[in-house]
Structure 1
Amino acid sequence: MFAIFLKTLPFFALIALGYMAGRTRFFTAEATAYLTKFVFYFALSAMLFEFAANLSLTEIFDPRFVGAYLLGTGAIYLVATIVGLLRRIPVAEAAVEAQCAVIGNVGFLGIPMFVLLLGPASAGPMLMVLATDLIVFSSLIVVLVTGSREGRVSVLTLRNVALGLAKNPMIVSIVVGIAWSATGRALWTPVDEFVSILGAAATPGALFAIGASLAGKSAERVSVAGWLTFCKLVLHPAAVALMAFVLFPVADPFAASVMVSAAALPVAGNVYMLAQHYGVAPQRVSAAILVSTALSIITVSVVIGLLTGGT
């Protein structure tokens, strides 16, 4: 287990470095925003395209894998929503809290870290998790927040959801990569080298950007943040593991292990962007991201260690 911790430590050290740069104002909020934009639209997109272009469709899409992940994730989403409603908070806030409980930092933290930690074979399962999160749950929160405010789900809302997916560079990168993979042709060498060089910037850039963005977040409403962190780091991977290994077993044990490891990741930064965009509990989300990221230094290592036998 300690060996796994030592392997994950450099990734979290990069996050800590970004955090210090942000706290000391060496990296301003504006600089962090531009770095995040570079990683999101260029470096990470290049990495995702390269992975998808070198994988077959069966390696990227497994219905049983997606089904197990959806069932486990959906169960915790429902639990977090019910708990929120029992506290008598509005539907929109309950939806945002549920998003915190199940949406991990797969793009900026998970894929770069797991590919290096668990090997290139983890790319396919991670892309499935990322695509499911983006298509299903990122769409669901928009529908719930907008629908609760308007009292109905309009055609305009569904249109905006579809446009949002079509414009998301991570979705576009994966789709274009799969399309190229379907041709059966290898990437032209200059193109392959170009996306490799650009994609190599994703790991350090994304981790540094995570840390720098955390520097501007506060730990207000720690009690709620603690509950959401418990959902994300403990309940979510436990529910996904129950589905993937017991109730809805996935054929490939390695893929199931990657899925559970992905479920153990801390709350994603894009949940904060959605909360801020809609003006729904952004400080609560900010606290959940900060607390879950800090604790995940230990919990992610524990989960991976348990799944891999500590090797």
Structure 2
Amino acid sequence: MLPILLKCLPFFALIGLGYLAGRTRFFPPEGVAWLTKFVFFFALSAMLFRFAANLSLSDIFDLPFVLAYLSASVLLYALVMAMARLRGRSIEEAAMEAQCAQSGNTGFLGVPMLVVLLGEQAAGPVLMVLTVDMVVFSSLITLIITGARGGAFGVQTLQALALGWVRNPMVVSIVPGLIWSGMALPVPGPVNEFLAILGAAATPGALFAIGASLAGRGAERLVVAGWLSGAKLVLHPALVALAAFWLFPVEPVAAGVMVAAASLPVAGNVYILAQHYGVAPQRVSTAILISTAASILTVPAVIAWVTG
């Protein structure tokens, strides 16, 4: 595990540097917001489009892979919701806790880090995990909360979901990339170089932004946040490993990437959802903080296992 830990340390050191810059206010919250916007809309989008456009559809979409990841994630989602309901939490809070336990930081942390650590062959599986998370589970939390609040599942709900996808730059980057790949068109050399240069800023920018955003988070409801962090860092990859290695015929390398992606800490966009709906934002914020700190040890351990 030590060699993997040493390879992971520079990535987490960038998160730590961002945290230090945010904590000392050398990098103020406004700066964090603008850096995040640059990474989200430009650097990461360029990286995702380039990966998708240069891969064949068979490298990205594989039905056993999707079924394995989806079944394990749905099981985790149901389990965390059930545990929350047993504690007397509302359906809305239970769904937000489940979202917290299922949604990993695949965009900002997984794509830059796993492709470097596991090689270019990791790009397709990571993009598939990211797509399932965005399309299925980001929609699921919206539908559950809408239903719990007595809203009707009509045209307006579908419009809201569609607008959410269209306004997400990761979706807007991956889909055109897949279309380009599907047409079997080569990416022109200068365009590919431009995307590579811009996309190269995604790794340091995203990791620094993660750390700086964590600096403004407080820690409350530690017991529940600790349970959610454990569910995300340990239970999620364990269930995914069971599904990918034993229940479905997933190719071993892709299965390993899937498990590594499932081991990532809680995604920052879950906090945005929690704030938007006014459901357990402090609980989610603490889980993001705890899971990101603990992932310094847990993610290298999982990567060492899947590569060993």
Is TM > 0.5 for Structure 1 vs Structure 2?
yes
Q: Deviations over 1:200-247 (max 9, x none)?
A: 000000000000000011111000001001100011000000000111
Query: Shift of the alpha carbon at 1:280?
Result: 0.7
Rounded to whole Å, the distance in 2 between the matches of 1:118 and 1:47 is: 16
Query: Shift of the alpha carbon at 1:183?
Result: 2.3
**Is the deviation greater in 178-187 or in 220-229?**
178-187
Instruction: Report what 2:263 is aligned to.
Output: 264
Aligned length: 308
Instruction: Report what 2:289 is aligned to.
Output: 290
The alignment partner of 2:279 has SS state of coil
The alignment partner of 2:149 has SS state of helix
Instruction: Report what 2:186 is aligned to.
Output: 186
1:239 equivalent in alignment to 2:218: no
Coordinate RMSD, CA, aligned: 0.9
Instruction: Report what 1:159 is aligned to.
Output: 159
Rounded to whole Å, the distance in 2 between the matches of 1:262 and 1:28 is: 30
1:77 equivalent in alignment to 2:87: no
Instruction: Report what 1:142 is aligned to.
Output: 142
Q: Deviations over 1:129-186 (max 9, x none)?
A: 0000000000101111122112543331122011111221111111111111122222
Instruction: Report what 2:56 is aligned to.
Output: 56
Maintained 8 Å contact 1:23/1:212: yes
Rounded to whole Å, the distance in 2 between the matches of 1:114 and 1:228 is: 23
Rounded to whole Å, the distance in 2 between the matches of 1:48 and 1:132 is: 15
Query: Shift of the alpha carbon at 1:194?
Result: 1.1
Maintained 8 Å contact 1:143/1:158: no
The alignment partner of 1:153 has SS state of coil
**Is the deviation greater in 211-220 or in 183-192?**
183-192
The runs of 5 or more residues in structure 1 that have no matched partner are: none
Rounded to whole Å, the distance in 1 between the matches of 2:166 and 2:36 is: 20
Instruction: Report what 1:281 is aligned to.
Output: 280
1:301 equivalent in alignment to 2:300: yes
The aligned amino acid for 1:307 is: V
The alignment partner of 1:108 has SS state of helix
Rounded to whole Å, the distance in 2 between the matches of 1:27 and 1:157 is: 38
Query: Shift of the alpha carbon at 1:112?
Result: 0.3
Maintained 8 Å contact 1:103/1:268: yes
Q: Runs ≥4 in structure 1, deviation > 2 angstroms?
A: 150-155
Query: Shift of the alpha carbon at 1:191?
Result: 1.1
Maintained 8 Å contact 1:147/1:154: no
Query: Shift of the alpha carbon at 1:255?
Result: 0.1
The aligned amino acid for 1:256 is: A
**Is the deviation greater in 80-89 or in 142-151?**
142-151
Maintained 8 Å contact 1:267/1:289: yes
Query: Shift of the alpha carbon at 1:78?
Result: 0.4
The aligned amino acid for 2:140 is: L
Instruction: Report what 1:228 is aligned to.
Output: 228
Rounded to whole Å, the distance in 2 between the matches of 1:66 and 1:198 is: 30
Q: 1:58-137 counterparts in 2 under 5 A? A: 58-137=58-137
Rounded to whole Å, the distance in 2 between the matches of 1:107 and 1:85 is: 30
Identity %: 65
**Is the deviation greater in 210-219 or in 180-189?**
180-189
The alignment partner of 1:241 has SS state of helix
Rounded to whole Å, the distance in 1 between the matches of 2:12 and 2:183 is: 38
Rounded to whole Å, the distance in 2 between the matches of 1:266 and 1:275 is: 17
Rounded to whole Å, the distance in 2 between the matches of 1:55 and 1:190 is: 18
The alignment partner of 1:38 has SS state of helix
Rounded to whole Å, the distance in 1 between the matches of 2:145 and 2:227 is: 21
Maintained 8 Å contact 1:48/1:170: yes
Q: 1:14-29 counterparts in 2 under 5 A? A: 14-29=14-29
Rounded to whole Å, the distance in 1 between the matches of 2:279 and 2:90 is: 10
The aligned amino acid for 1:244 is: A
The alignment partner of 2:25 has SS state of coil
Rounded to whole Å, the distance in 1 between the matches of 2:291 and 2:178 is: 33
Instruction: Report what 1:205 is aligned to.
Output: 205
Rounded to whole Å, the distance in 2 between the matches of 1:119 and 1:194 is: 21
Rounded to whole Å, the distance in 2 between the matches of 1:174 and 1:52 is: 6
Instruction: Report what 1:217 is aligned to.
Output: 217
